[in-house]
Amino acid sequence: MSNINAITRRETLALGAAALTSALTPIADAVESSEHHGLSAFGDLKYPADFRQFDYVNANAPKGGLFSHVAPAVVFNQNPLTFNSLNAFILKGDAAQGMELTFASLMMRAYDEPDAVYGLAARAVQISHDRLSYRFLMRPGITFHDGSPLTAHDVAFSLNVVKEKGHPIIQQLLRDFAGAQAQDDASVVVSFTAGHARDLPPLLSSLPIFSREYYAGRAFEETTLETPLGCGPYKVGQFEPGRYIEYDRVKNWWGADLPVACGQYNFDVIRYEYYRDRDIAFEGFTGKTYLFREELVARFWSTRYDFPAVREGRVKRDVIPDHTASAAQGWYFNTRRQKFTDKRVREAFVNAFDFEWVNAKIMYGAYQRTRSVFENSDMMAVGPPGPDEIALLEPFRAKVPAEVFGEPFVPPVSDGSGQDRVLLRKASALLREAGHVIKEGKRVTPDGNLFTVEFLIDDPVSLPHHNAFIKNLGLLGIEASVRIVDAVQYRRRLDDFDFDIVVQRFGFSGTPGDTLRAFFTSRSASMRGTHNVGGIADPVIDALVENVIAANSRVDLLTACKALDRVIRSGRYWVPHWYKAAHWLAYWDSFGRPSAQPRYGLAIPQTWWSNAPS
């Protein structure tokens, strides 16, 4: 941690608060008096103000036991393979997964609705008539883990500090957040700029609440292994950087009996295990080193779940339908590099990948081909655009390919031979058109240099897929290779745009909005730590993203997403991979779970419980 003068920091906070008070006081007066117990993008809420619990939980679930797993998902600066920091909301460092469990937020997500949130630290919210100001009314008597009171002042500090010093993705998501001001201990006014995304208030209300007093003498933007002061259902327990971290349930947590938390957070300990090799991680599961595993490798799911514990019924396997938009996984080109600026080159790569062969020979036919950034959802463009889509696209007719007004681009279907000659000839022709010709059996760029490509990965499990692709690129005269680096170096190289092609996987909620800016817009293309790994920077896409954000109804949202999807797909920014509309789950028979599964998330481990003997 850097050496910060605490007095200077307090003076800075005081000056900032004074300026913010001056800016927000007139807006605060415009807040309407009616109270809302929840928020959603379009104002629709499933649960009434007096609801007792979410429908997908067991209110009588017992407390206790252990849930241990290798978690597949990360947010912000978290790393699935290692960690060296407990600060999970900045760019620096590789944060431990699960740190979000240690913090509460103003409101909490309901996973059986597309985007709704309901009161947690806030008991209600009042909204101004122009929807530019939200007054959150704090729940009385809530505290941080050390017993100190959690007030509106902490909320204002938290929102303002992540806007200023948080991870660049958070900063971009909060672009239209103008500031927060605590009027007293019990209420905080949050201000937004005109034209803000409709999903920004629910998103902002889900951000963590930090202690203003705790950070008075600490640098928020620095990595640290000091356990931060939290206020959530769990607190950091034992950990060893890079190996494991445990979170201990807070037995007297103030939120435990609230409707949004009823029947949830049942395990006494939630443990995250870290492995840098998926084969070793799988062996750890068979040896009961950890208890729950979401399987992501088709080869493992098809061939390796025949160990004794499975045959004896001590390890269960389930396939859970996934009704959410499937992730747009694929090989993403770094279009910041000259070699990938020409769309014809990118399309040549798309033609060179034989998905049908890889799916049959490597992935046991378990997957379908990804086509859209909104795959497996009603936001995906299908067929020619309808009149409403054309109305959105027409102003850009001269700036987009003609295909945007016809059938959307889909990856070609190969003959499954592993080297479809027809598709390879098309790829070669596209490369020649782009000025990349063959000389002495090698593909050279227009400036006469060898056309070389490096695939950057941090896990060898995908080597068979890469090798099949690299073989076909070699047939085109392209010298391609794969480089495996450690997890920390991989993260740094992505943050610094130091790569040719990487595999990325991302998906969106059923109500995408402001988050799209972080993935597809020109502003995000040059931002370190960005989700826009491909460097997409197209004014047309920028404008269509704003159309999605400005949609006033779900019908308008779907139309705008389809129009955006058409233009993104026309750019050939990635070589689409594959998806399956299901989750593969394996777990030792020591858990109970609710009978109902929420539509928009697994809610694991939040809603499960231990039935292992104590």
Q: What is the CA angle 600-521-91, rounded to 5?
A: 75
Domain-located, residue 16: yes
Shared domain check, 336 and 216: no
Give the relative orientation of helices 6-28 and 152-165 as an angle to the nearest 10 degrees: 110
pLDDT band for 514, please (50, 70, 90 cuts).
confident
pLDDT digits (tens, 9 = 90+) for 251-296: 999 999 999 999 999 999 999 999 988 889 999 999 999 999 999 9
Tell whether the model's pLDDT for residue 104 goes beyond 90: yes
Domain-terminating residue out of 187, 211, 234: 234
pLDDT band for 167, please (50, 70, 90 cuts).
very high
Shared domain check, 230 and 335: no
Tell whether the model's pLDDT for residue 614 goes beyond 80: no
Tell whether the model's pLDDT for residue 470 goes beyond 60: yes
Domain-located, residue 54: yes
Q: Which pLDDT score, from 0 to 100, does residue 33 have? A: 62
β-pairing, 479-484 vs 452-457, is parallel
Average pLDDT over residues 296-301: 93
Shared domain check, 472 and 336: yes
pLDDT digits (tens, 9 = 90+) for 584-613: 999 999 999 999 999 999 999 999 999 976
State the distance between the two ends of the chain, measured CA to CA, in whole angstroms.
41
Q: Which pLDDT score, from 0 to 100, does residue 72 have? A: 85
- Please check whether residue 563 is in contact with residue 556, taking contact to mean a CB–CB distance below 8 angstroms: no
- Per cent of the chain over pLDDT 90 is 87
Q: Which pLDDT score, from 0 to 100, does residue 22 have? A: 34
Residues sharing a CB contact under 8 Å with residue 85, sequence separation 6 or more, in sequence order: 77, 92, 93, 94, 95, 96, 223, 224, 225
pLDDT digits (tens, 9 = 90+) for 183-242: 999 999 999 999 898 889 999 999 999 999 999 999 999 999 999 999 999 999 999 999
Q: Which pLDDT score, from 0 to 100, does residue 103 have? A: 98
Backbone angles phi, psi at 28, to 5 degrees: -60, -35
Domain-located, residue 11: yes
- Per cent of the chain over pLDDT 70 is 94
- Please check whether residue 152 is in contact with residue 146, taking contact to mean a CB–CB distance below 8 angstroms: no
Whole-angstrom distance, CA of residue 5 vs CA of residue 541: 44
pLDDT band for 323, please (50, 70, 90 cuts).
confident
Q: Which pLDDT score, from 0 to 100, does residue 532 have? A: 95
CA atoms within 13 A on the CB side of 539: 5
Shared domain check, 118 and 12: yes
Domain-located, residue 262: no
Tell whether the model's pLDDT for residue 30 goes beyond 90: no
Q: How does DSSP classify residue 597?
A: -
Tell whether the model's pLDDT for residue 28 goes beyond 50: no
Tell whether the model's pLDDT for residue 19 goes beyond 60: no
Domain-located, residue 20: yes
pTM of the predicted structure, to 2 decimals: 0.86
Tell whether the model's pLDDT for residue 326 goes beyond 90: no
Average pLDDT over residues 83-96: 96
| Omega before 605 within 30 of 0, i.e. cis | yes
pLDDT band for 508, please (50, 70, 90 cuts).
confident
Domain-located, residue 252: no
Q: What is the CATH number of the domain that holds 376?
A: 3.10.105.10
Across the chain, mean pLDDT equals: 92
Shared domain check, 505 and 385: yes
Shared domain check, 407 and 550: yes
Shared domain check, 334 and 229: no
**H-run or E-run covering 302:** helix 298-303
Domain-located, residue 31: yes
| Residue keyed to tokens 């990349």 | 436
Q: Which pLDDT score, from 0 to 100, does residue 166 have? A: 97
484 is in which domain, residue-wise?
330-579
- Please check whether residue 575 is in contact with residue 348, taking contact to mean a CB–CB distance below 8 angstroms: no
pLDDT band for 429, please (50, 70, 90 cuts).
very high
Whole-angstrom distance, CA of residue 231 vs CA of residue 243: 25
Domain-terminating residue out of 183, 208, 234: 234
User: Strands, E, within 38-106: which ranges?
Assistant: 38-39, 66-69
pLDDT digits (tens, 9 = 90+) for 553-590: 999 999 999 999 999 999 999 999 999 999 999 999 99
Shared domain check, 345 and 196: no
Average pLDDT over residues 137-144: 98
Shared domain check, 150 and 10: yes
Q: What is the CA angle 478-480-482, rounded to 5?
A: 175
pLDDT band for 32, please (50, 70, 90 cuts).
low
- Domain total for the chain? 2
pLDDT band for 137, please (50, 70, 90 cuts).
very high
pLDDT digits (tens, 9 = 90+) for 42-75: 999 999 999 999 999 999 999 999 999 999 888 8
Q: Which pLDDT score, from 0 to 100, does residue 509 have? A: 84
Average pLDDT over residues 349-362: 98
Q: Which pLDDT score, from 0 to 100, does residue 300 have? A: 95
Q: What is the CATH number of the domain that holds 185?
A: 3.40.190.10
Domain-located, residue 86: no
